[in-house]
Chains A and B, each alone.
Chain A
Amino acid sequence: MERQAMANKGDWLDAQLRANRPAPIADDGFAARVMAALPAATRALPAWRRPALVVLWALAAIGLALSLPDATLDVARQGYRLFTAIPVSVPQLAVAMVAAAVVMWTIAGYTLRRELVPAR
């Protein structure tokens, strides 16, 4: 009789799978065993560490620049000359941007390939 009732329920298997969920398992000392096996905590670096490092590096750079003003100016001038010496036309810039976009989309497509490939 119960079988018949189940068969009449449409997707009886769905209902059975849900009804067949495992019963809750008593702890029976499991949590204590886990806690005893835990190693010392490995913590994430504190949130203030990154900005503090940035500030420290910036202060060091400013300090260096102030203590060696001639060298700093020289490096800056040379850098500017190097940058302005490279002639870049608008078409070249456009080609570079298109190439960068192609590379970006290729990487994105490769990353998402598992989602894009249909299931067999």
Chain B
Amino acid sequence: MLIARALATSDAASRVAFGELVRRHQSSVRATLRRLTNGNDALADDLAQEAFVLAWRNLASFRDEARFSTWLYRIATNCWLANARKRKDVLLGDRGEDVEHDDDDEDAMSALGASVGDSSHATSLRMDMARAMRVLSDGERAAIVQCYDNDLTHEEAAYVLGIPVGTVKTHILRAKKKLKAAMADWAS
């Protein structure tokens, strides 16, 4: 409904409708990008803004074959990939071990822990999980984010990431194996 209004009415009215779409989806898009950028909030927000501007420019090409949110995740993921490729070679394909550790994420994890208002136990669990997520390759992390954070099916995640469904499943399996190893203390 909102999408139709954003497409079909006058410029002013379509901006109003698109503004509502931005307000509805900003949280999930920004959260996704924050995960993908390993907690770099400033970069994630810049990429989210770029993604929404791209969505506005290409709104006419949106088809009902995917949910609007899924379409947005795809654009956001492409923005992240384009940005990451400027700095390093990021591949979402299945290429095994391509882990890179960034050293500037400790602040992000501390902030994550500090922002959580629950028990220290839950906080430390969250921090360990965030740390464990850094062990994953870009492709594995992206697959986990889409399937668990955004609750997408493997097929939807494949659409968002632009990779085959089989590769998404492989990423998920490998990611969970690595996460289980990294979080072994919590399981035992």
Q: A22-B31, A31-B22, A119-B164 are in contact. Are A38 and B149 (CB under 8 A)?
A: no
- Determine if A41 is an interface residue (Cβ-Cβ < 8 Å): yes
Chain B, 14-66, CB within 8 A of any chain A CB: 14-15, 18-19, 22-23, 26-27, 30-31, 34-35, 45, 48-49, 52-53, 56-57, 60-61
Instruction: Specify which chain A residues have a CB less than 8 angstroms from the CB of B94 in the assembled complex.
Output: 119-120
Instruction: Specify which chain B residues have a CB less than 8 angstroms from the CB of A40 in the assembled complex.
Output: 11
- Determine if B144 is an interface residue (Cβ-Cβ < 8 Å): yes
Instruction: Specify which chain B residues have a CB less than 8 angstroms from the CB of A17 in the assembled complex.
Output: 129, 144, 148, 179
Q: A31-B19, A41-B56, A119-B167 are in contact. Are A20 and B49 (CB under 8 A)?
A: no
Q: How far is the CA of A88 from the CA of B149 in the complex (A)?
A: 62
Instruction: Write the nearest CB–CB distance from A59 to chain B, whole angstroms.
Output: 28
Instruction: Please determine whether A42 and B49 come into contact, CB atoms closer than 8 angstroms.
Output: no
Instruction: Specify which chain A residues have a CB less than 8 angstroms from the CB of B11 in the assembled complex.
Output: 40-41
| Interface size, A (range) | 35 or more
Chain A, 1-24, CB within 8 A of any chain B CB: 2-3, 6-7, 12-14, 16-18, 20-24
Instruction: Please determine whether B48 and A2 come into contact, CB atoms closer than 8 angstroms.
Output: no
Instruction: Specify which chain A residues have a CB less than 8 angstroms from the CB of B3 in the assembled complex.
Output: none
Instruction: Specify which chain B residues have a CB less than 8 angstroms from the CB of A120 in the assembled complex.
Output: 94, 170
Stretch from A68-76, A78-86, A95-103, A110-118 forming part of the interface with B: A110-118
- Determine if A39 is an interface residue (Cβ-Cβ < 8 Å): yes
A binding-site residues for B, Cβ under 8 Å: 2-3, 6-7, 12-14, 16-18, 20-27, 30-31, 33-35, 37-44, 114-115, 117-120
